[in-house]
Amino acid sequence: MQDVFIIGSRGLPAQYGGFETFVEELVTRQQDKSIRYHVACLSDDKNKQHVDYRGTDCFMVPVPKFLGPARVIAYDLKAIAYALDMIKEQGLKHPIFYVLGNTIGGLIGPVAHQIKKVGGKLYVNPDGLEWKRSKWSRPVQYYLKQAEKQMSKSADLLICDNPGIEDYMTTSYPWAKTTVIAYGTDVVKSSLTADHKQVRAFFEQWQSREKGYYLIVGRFVPENNYAAMIRAFMASQTQRDLLIICNHEGNSYWETLRKETQFDRDRRIKFVGTVYDKALLSYVRQSAFAYLHGHEVGGTNPGLLEALAQTDLNLVLGVDFNRQVAKDTALYWDKGNQSLTQLIDHYDQESDFSAWGKKARQRMLAAYSWEQIVGQYEELFLDEG
């Protein structure tokens, strides 16, 4: 039996995005039962306990909230310490620690030593250049960059979700051993149809209609280039709406963006907020005239995969990470010129993008289906463990 300890997600069941969804898919789609997963779960309960979640051992790790940003570091360190105790008590052989993110990198040296001491291996998913995100202060960015470097030195393997991330890692840290296993997605249509109540309620609320809008879905942060996309849309001649699905409520960036772009003067631009109904979100994606993607920090973005799996026409910021994912299944734009505005104006008069959509979905099936991603992870864990 190969024991794999997953550290760094908030836990199961998945209630967030990114890493949590990945862990959920990995353990619930498990194909080889000779792997036993143990997943750390952030908890408010002071009493550590184990919970079985669909055959997966979930161990609770309580960390006080008053620690603020340091809570994430404390959580990962406590989870690893608890896992090490568990390994010693149960006499587990050759465990694998899979750490999601570089957060504890600055403190990884002694941790990596303890893992090796019990015969274990340390795998790390470096995520998507977290130190570049604008939400962090300069000191935090510096810490995260140094943490990334230390992780590259201590890890037995860096598992990158995008060839662009691997290129960056091998260029920045030539000593690092790396491999690429992508993030996954589902290529299935929404269970909802046009006559479902929640569908009609959504379009009535936002005074829009199927194929009558461009769509943005993503975290509401500056590095996702909301300003560039909104400006380009405002400069276009389209009469369609721009529906923006994001966590803008209570976010100080909303007012900054409003002052910067004056989007509130354009009746076409509509901030929807978050949509938690997955079936409804899938239907809204499928029914968009086109999807706008502006992420430029990170690797394989889950939102881009979902767009390529569900939306026919995708207008994507042409950075390397995005091009590695979409290849020739999307149209690309650049910041600092009129390329996105020109794309909108050029394609706004067309109506059939089914060929683009078919090609995009074929690529998702060929390279990004969850079944394929889970299979690659299981092969790695069993071969390397």
Measured distance CA(198)–CA(192) in Å, rounded = 9
Helix (H) or strand (E) holding 170, with range, is helix 163-172
Q: Which domain holds residue 118?
A: 2-184+369-384
How many domains, the chain? 2
Higher-pLDDT residue of 128 and 40 is 40
User: Of all residues in the chain, what percent carry a pLDDT higher than 90?
Assistant: 78
Decide if pLDDT at 67 tops 80: no
Give the pLDDT mean for 332-349. Answer: 95
* Confidence label for 18 from pLDDT (cuts 50, 70 and 90): confident
**How much is the pLDDT for 132?**
65
What's the CATH number where 295 sits?
Answer: 3.40.50.2000
Assess whether 302 and 175 both reside in one domain.
Answer: no
Range with the poorest average pLDDT among 34-43, 226-235, 297-306, 368-377: 297-306
Residue 21: half-sphere exposure toward Cβ, Cα within 13 Å: 14
217-255, pLDDT tens digit by residue? 999 999 999 999 999 999 999 999 999 999 998 888 999
ω into residue 69 within 30 of 0, thus cis? no
Decide if pLDDT at 207 tops 60: yes
Backbone φ, ψ for residue 76 (5° rounding): -65, -45
| Domain assignment present for 192 | no
Range with the poorest average pLDDT among 26-35, 133-142, 243-252: 133-142
Assess whether 170 and 23 both reside in one domain.
Answer: yes
Average pLDDT, the chain: 93
Please return the burial class of 197, using the count of CB atoms within 10 Å of its CB with bins 0-12, 13-18 and 19+.
exposed
Assess whether 86 and 174 both reside in one domain.
Answer: yes
Assess whether 251 and 116 both reside in one domain.
Answer: no
| Domain assignment present for 214 | yes
Among left, alpha and beta (phi > 0; psi -120 to 50; other), residue 127 is: left
Give the pLDDT mean for 1-19. Answer: 88
Measured distance CA(298)–CA(133) in Å, rounded = 9
Neighbours of 50 (CB within 10 A): 11
Range with the poorest average pLDDT among 138-147, 250-259, 286-295, 327-336: 138-147
Axis-axis angle for helices 197-205, 278-286 (nearest 10): 60
Q: b/e per residue, 302-336, with b = 16+ CB within 10 A?
A: bbbbbbbbbbbbbbbbebebbbbbbeebbbbbebe
Assess whether 43 and 32 both reside in one domain.
Answer: yes
Assess whether 174 and 128 both reside in one domain.
Answer: yes
Assess whether 287 and 143 both reside in one domain.
Answer: no
Assess whether 110 and 220 both reside in one domain.
Answer: no
Read off the tokens for 47: 């009493």
Assess whether 114 and 135 both reside in one domain.
Answer: yes
**How much is the pLDDT for 44?**
80
**How much is the pLDDT for 256?**
95
Give the pLDDT mean for 184-200. Answer: 95
Read off the tokens for 352: 């059939």
| Domain assignment present for 190 | no
| Domain assignment present for 189 | no
| Domain assignment present for 22 | yes
| Domain assignment present for 213 | yes
| Domain assignment present for 191 | no
Decide if pLDDT at 129 tops 80: no
245 within 8 A of 281, measured Cβ to Cβ? yes
Assess whether 274 and 169 both reside in one domain.
Answer: no
Query: E strands along the chain, which residues?
Result: 2-7, 35-43, 50-53, 56-62, 96-100, 121-125, 157-160, 178-180, 213-217, 241-245, 269-273, 290-293, 314-317, 331-333
**How much is the pLDDT for 17?**
67
* Confidence label for 133 from pLDDT (cuts 50, 70 and 90): low
Measured distance CA(248)–CA(271) in Å, rounded = 8
298 within 8 A of 128, measured Cβ to Cβ? yes
Assess whether 176 and 222 both reside in one domain.
Answer: no
Read off the tokens for 15: 């209630």
| Domain assignment present for 314 | yes
Assess whether 156 and 265 both reside in one domain.
Answer: no
Higher-pLDDT residue of 312 and 321 is 312
Helix (H) or strand (E) holding 242, with range, is strand 241-245
Please return the burial class of 126, using the count of CB atoms within 10 Å of its CB with bins 0-12, 13-18 and 19+.
buried
Axis-axis angle for helices 70-90, 108-117 (nearest 10): 10
